[in-house]
């Protein structure tokens, strides 16, 4: 039947219950994140709506009246039912649109994730993917800490406590500006020549840098930095200006080489390669939604 009398404000009822549990209006106000005057105003409005005095107010504080204690008791079921309603409707929202939180290394986020997200949005529109960007080391840590459901990285180390699945291989390419002396030279650049030449490098923790260091380290060498930058785009612009060479993902430089902004220089022997991997926690299974994301991404990479 329709309600013909004014209905008490549920937030004010909840506030009254907090005052009863915590012993004062001030503590109740703190629990609800409002000021004490605002709490007092709400409680007076509740008294006016119900037509009964709920609190005895004095210089020493406020105490529940007998009527106030009765109202608090009655309100417990009402507030419990409201909380159940809110929990149930939140579940309905989750069922309608499931969110999966993922993190990806810079290269993956810039050059692979856009294609993946378009595919997911087309094939599974009720699945929402939130994407964070970080370097490979940071992505692995986010997965370990349970702050994301899935991670996508390039590189080979720091996978302790994680499950992984290989998705595709990515070759690293030496690139220089068109006016750099190496752009027109014949022959390949050896590891020793590359190590002796200052380069534009990614920051420590990047999968790109990790693979380059391992490739040079296999013959007892290490790269030398003229500058370290935190993004592939910044490195490409530095190389293009002639600052120094860089070794970057073929995925990242393909368009720049094709359009003549950068020149790819061959490396002696087999150049550095790395595997793009999906990561998830070894201590907890993937959710059904995260499994759907991984399956779709695996299908996209298989088709490449």
Report phi then psi at 237, rounded to 5: -65, -35
Q: What is the DSSP string of 214-234?
A: HHHHTTT----EEEEES-HHH
Fold classification of 99-289 (topology level): D-Maltodextrin-Binding Protein; domain 2 (3.40.190)
Residues 26-57 have pLDDT tens digits of: 888 898 889 988 888 988 988 888 888 988 88
Q: Is the pLDDT of residue 191 over 50?
A: yes
The model scores a pTM over 0.85: no
Distance from the Cα of residue 182 to its chain's centroid: 40
Q: Are 133 and 103 in contact (CB under 8 A)?
A: yes
Residues of the chain with CATH 3.40.190.290: 99-289
- What is the structure's pLDDT at 6? 73
Q: How far apart are CA 108 and CA 119, in angstroms?
A: 15
Enumerate residues 6+ apart whose C-beta is below 8 A from 253: 173, 175, 236, 262, 264
Q: Is the pLDDT of residue 176 over 90?
A: yes
- What is the structure's pLDDT at 178? 96
DSSP for residue 189: B
| Mean pLDDT calculated for residue range 85-113 | 78
Q: What is the DSSP string of 9-61?
A: PHHHHHHHHHHHHHSSHHHHHHHHTS-HHHHHHHHHHHHHHHTS--EEEETTE
| Mean pLDDT calculated for residue range 114-136 | 88
Q: How far apart are CA 78 and CA 228, in angstroms?
A: 60
| Mean pLDDT calculated for residue range 83-107 | 75
Residue with tokens 């291989």: 169
Q: How far apart are CA 46 and CA 197, in angstroms?
A: 76
* CA-based torsion, 215, 220, 226, 231: positive or negative: positive
- Report the percent of the chain where pLDDT is more than 70: 93
Mean pLDDT of the chain: 88
Q: How far apart are CA 190 and CA 170, in angstroms?
A: 20
- Token output for 167: 């998705």
DSSP for residue 184: S
Q: Is the pLDDT of residue 106 over 90?
A: no
Residues of the chain with CATH 1.10.10.10: 10-95
Fold classification of 10-95 (topology level): Arc Repressor Mutant, subunit A (1.10.10)
Integer distance in angstroms from the first to the last C-alpha of the chain?
62
- Residue 219's pLDDT band (boundaries 50, 70, 90)? very high
Q: Which residue has the higher pLDDT, 153 or 58?
A: 153
- Residue 1's pLDDT band (boundaries 50, 70, 90)? very low
- What is the structure's pLDDT at 5? 64
For the beta carbon of residue 117, count every other beta carbon within 10 angstroms.
Answer: 15
- What is the structure's pLDDT at 151? 95
| Mean pLDDT calculated for residue range 228-247 | 93
């Amino acid at each position: 039947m329709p309600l013909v009398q004014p209905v008490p404000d549920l937030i004010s009822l909840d506030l009254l219950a907090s005052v009863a549990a915590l012993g004062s209006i001030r503590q109740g106000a703190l629990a609800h994140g409002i000021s004490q005057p605002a709490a007092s105003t709400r409680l007076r409005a509740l008294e006016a709506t119900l037509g009964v005095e709920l609190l005895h107010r004095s210089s020493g504080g406020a105490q529940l009246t007998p009527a106030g204690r009765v109202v608090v008791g009655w309100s417990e079921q009402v507030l419990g039912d409201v909380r159940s309603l809110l929990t149930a409707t939140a579940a309905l929202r989750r069922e309608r649109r499931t969110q999966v939180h993922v993190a990806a290394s810079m290269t993956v986020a810039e050059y692979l994730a856009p294609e993946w997200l378009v595919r997911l949005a087309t094939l599974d529109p009720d699945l929402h993917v939130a994407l964070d960007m970080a370097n490979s080391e940071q992505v692995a840590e986010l997965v370990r800490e349970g702050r994301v459901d899935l991670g996508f990285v390039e590189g080979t180390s720091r996978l302790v406590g994680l499950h992984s699945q290989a998705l595709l291989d990515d070759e690293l390419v030496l690139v220089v500006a068109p006016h750099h002396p190496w752009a027109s030279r014949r022959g390949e650049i050896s590891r020793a020549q590359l190590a002796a030449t200052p380069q534009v490098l990614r920051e420590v923790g990047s999968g790109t840098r990790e693979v380059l260091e391992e490739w040079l380290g296999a013959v007892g060498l290490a790269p030398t930095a003229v500058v370290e930058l935190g993004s592939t785009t910044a490195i490409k612009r530095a190389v293009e200006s002639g600052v120094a060479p860089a070794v970057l993902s073929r995925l990242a430089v393909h368009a720049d080489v094709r359009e003549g902004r950068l020149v790819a220089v061959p490396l002696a022997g087999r150049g550095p390669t790395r595997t793009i991997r999906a990561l998830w926690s070894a201590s907890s299974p993937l959710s059904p939604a995260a499994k759907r994301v991984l399956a779709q991404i695996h299908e996209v990479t298989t088709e490449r």
